[in-house]
Amino acid sequence: SERAQRAVEMEESTYLETIAKVREEAAKAWVNVLYGQRTLALVSAMEKEAAEDLNAMNAAHRGAKANASDVMQAQLTLSQAQDATRKNTQDLKNARLALSRWTGMPAATVADETPKLNSHVPGLPIEELEKYHPMLLTARRAINLADADSTVATRESNPDWSVEASYSQRGSQYSNMVSFGISIPLAVNRAQKQNRDIAEKSALGTKARMQYEEALRELQTEIENQSSTLESLKSRVTQLNAQLLPAASQQVELATVAYRSGSGSLSAVFNAKKMLLERRLQIAELEREAALTWAALEYHVVPHDMVSAGEMK
């Protein structure tokens, strides 16, 4: 009975692994839709800017304030922006399909709310990881099952004595009869059978413990790497928002002032605006990478209530 219960728990760990995978993939798909929406909005703004720049350049060319090469460059920029819009539109469509696949419901859009990229997983002790992280949970339950197998093999190696008693009520010609019996199994060739089975189960238990230690080291390394990567990405995003964006915005203002004063060109204004949008795209991509790292770290741990519900079921 004990061994059967350990086998049930082992099968349940496979079920919990599936839950963890669905949670992680759904979270990643949600992140991809969120930042797909933001990226598409940025490239659409870039396309709009490029179209306005082309119109302005054509007007400047007609007024002899720009040459034909400037017009061709503006046209090339618009074509690139249009291609980026088409590409990101398809990427967003694919991200929505992926989110629908993992949630089981249509996902036309998601709320434009940036998640707080704080994970509690790096602070979990090993005892908690054994209960709620599928990798370590499975490894621990494999040890429990192996120990139960060893116990069963050890018990089966001992003779199972039995006692019988019966009462026979016979016809009038014979008196009733009471009988007793004792059965004592005699183990034959125990060294080649029972002892060998015990040794096999013991070796499997040792193997399970070694696999647990390997799983623990791998998990700790993975959590540390993901946590370090997440903090690095968050730091880079903060730095770029504090330094890169203000500088790019100031460049647009300076180019605009120079053009209005007659000391700068219209193409310089266009290039500064394009550079500002590209920097925003760069930061958005870093934010997406940070959010995906956070999702992989935070959502691969099964919530406590799900583990409890699985055990009750």
Closest CA to 8 of 129, 144, 114, 116: 144
- Would you state the pLDDT for residue 161? 82
Residue 37 has what DSSP assignment?
Answer: H
Summarize pLDDT for 136-187 with one digit per residue, the tens.
989 999 999 999 988 888 887 777 788 999 998 887 788 889 999 998 877 6
- Would you state the pLDDT for residue 71? 80
Residue 64 has what DSSP assignment?
Answer: T
Mean per-residue pLDDT for 68-78?
Answer: 82
Q: For residue 63, count other CB atoms closer than 10 A to its CB.
A: 8
Task: Give residue for tokens 């920097």.
Answer: 279
Q: Give dist(CA 310, CA 312) in Å, integer.
A: 5
Q: Which pairs with CB-CB distance under 8 Å and at least 24 residues apart come from 92-96?
A: 92/33, 92/36, 92/37, 92/39, 92/40, 95/29, 95/32, 95/33, 95/36, 96/33, 96/36
Summarize pLDDT for 83-125 with one digit per residue, the tens.
999 999 999 999 999 999 999 888 878 888 888 899 888 988 9
Residue 125: CA count within 13 A, CB half-sphere: 1
Give the three-state DSSP class for 253.
Answer: helix
- Which of 24-33, 101-110, 234-243, 282-291 has the lowest average pLDDT? 101-110
Q: Give dist(CA 57, CA 265) in Å, integer.
A: 11
Mean pLDDT of the chain: 87
Six-digit token pair at 142?
Answer: 């494999």
- Share in percent of the chain as helix, strand, coil (round to 5): 75, 5, 20
- Would you state the pLDDT for residue 59? 83
Confidence of residue 312 (pLDDT cuts 50, 70, 90): very low
Q: Give dist(CA 52, CA 61) in Å, integer.
A: 14
Residue 300 has what DSSP assignment?
Answer: T
Q: Give dist(CA 17, CA 253) in Å, integer.
A: 53
Summarize pLDDT for 180-237 with one digit per residue, the tens.
999 887 766 665 666 788 888 889 899 999 999 999 999 999 999 999 999 999 999 9
Mean per-residue pLDDT for 283-310?
Answer: 85
Six-digit token pair at 273?
Answer: 């605006």
Six-digit token pair at 147?
Answer: 């120990």
Q: Give dist(CA 102, CA 26) in Å, integer.
A: 5
pLDDT at 67 over 80: no
pLDDT at 310 over 60: no
